[in-house]
Amino acid sequence: MTRPCNSERYFLGRGFRGTSPAMRTLLNEMQEKSAQGEFPVLPETLWADRELEFLRKHIQTTTALQILSIRLAIDLSKEPEAWFRDWQKVCLEKSYSWCEAFRVPAMPLKTHILKAG
């Protein structure tokens, strides 16, 4: 179950048929460099205007959500009982709703945890 303050990203492409050899090479280079702590900046010329605008909005929205989630986590760390009282069940229900929507099996755990809370 992923949370907004995590850094992983997932891409699901309906109708996706693969990438060009140049894009595969670039992605492999990015992966190798990131493993070494280097994070290259991609030239904007790789993207069409529409794609670039989508990426900018996505980064802006995700960044704002991450900041909000990190601030909430910091606040809850100062008052852990608030997490158990107010947030745990809500967060679990949202996570399980996502699992149900994407048909990820999680029901046995859901039943146990939500009944206990």
pLDDT in tens, 50-104: 888 888 898 899 889 889 888 988 888 898 888 888 877 887 888 788 778 877 7
The pLDDT of residue 112 is: 53
Q: Give residues with Cβ within 8 angstroms of 117, minimum separation 6.
A: 84, 88, 89, 92
In sign, the C-alpha dihedral spanning 23, 24, 28, 31 is positive
Q: Token digits for 108?
A: 């046995």
Model pTM score: 0.49
Pick from 57, 24, 22, 28: nearest CA to 40:
28
The mean pLDDT value of the chain amounts to 76
Tokens read off for 15: 């109708």
pLDDT at 18 over 50: yes
Q: How far apart are CA 92 and CA 98, in angstroms?
A: 10
Give the residue among 32, 66, 29 at the shortest CA–CA distance from 46: 29
